[in-house]
Amino acid sequence: MSGAPDGRKALAGNGALLVRELALAARIQGALERLYGLDRVADVADFASGTEPGDREALLLREADDGGIELRVLLPCLGPDGSAGGGLDTLCQIIEGVSHFVYVVERARVQREATHLELEMQAEVDKWVVLAASMHAFDATGSAALRARLYERVRFSHDEATELGQRYRVANEAAHRFVRRLERRYVSAARFSELRCELRQFFHLGQEEKLRLGHAA
Residue 116: which of 129, 103, 105 has the closest Cα?
Answer: 103
pLDDT tens, residue order, the chain (217 aa): 665 444 433 333 444 557 888 999 999 999 999 999 999 999 999 999 988 888 899 999 888 778 788 899 999 988 665 444 458 889 999 999 999 999 999 999 999 999 999 999 999 999 999 999 999 889 999 999 999 999 998 888 778 788 888 999 999 999 999 999 999 999 999 999 999 999 999 999 999 999 998 887 6
Contact 114, 107 (CB under 8 A): yes
| Cβ–Cβ < 8 Å for 115, 171 | no
* Average pLDDT score, the chain: 87
Contacts of 48 (CB under 8 A, 6+ apart): 4, 7, 10, 17, 21, 22, 25, 72, 73, 74, 75, 97, 101
For residues 186-197, one letter each, b for 16 or more C-beta atoms within 10 angstroms of the residue's C-beta and e for the rest, the string is bbeeeeeeebbe
DSSP code at position 137: S
Question: What is the percent of the chain with per-residue pLDDT over 90, rounded to a whole number?
Answer: 65
Residue 114, exposed/middle/buried by CB under 10 A (0-12, 13-18, 19+)? middle
- β strands within 51-168, DSSP E: 58-63, 69-75
Query: How far is it, in rounded angstroms, from Cα 134 to Cα 51?
Result: 25
For the stretch 131-188, pLDDT in tens is 999 998 899 999 999 999 999 988 887 787 888 889 999 999 999 999 999 999 999 9
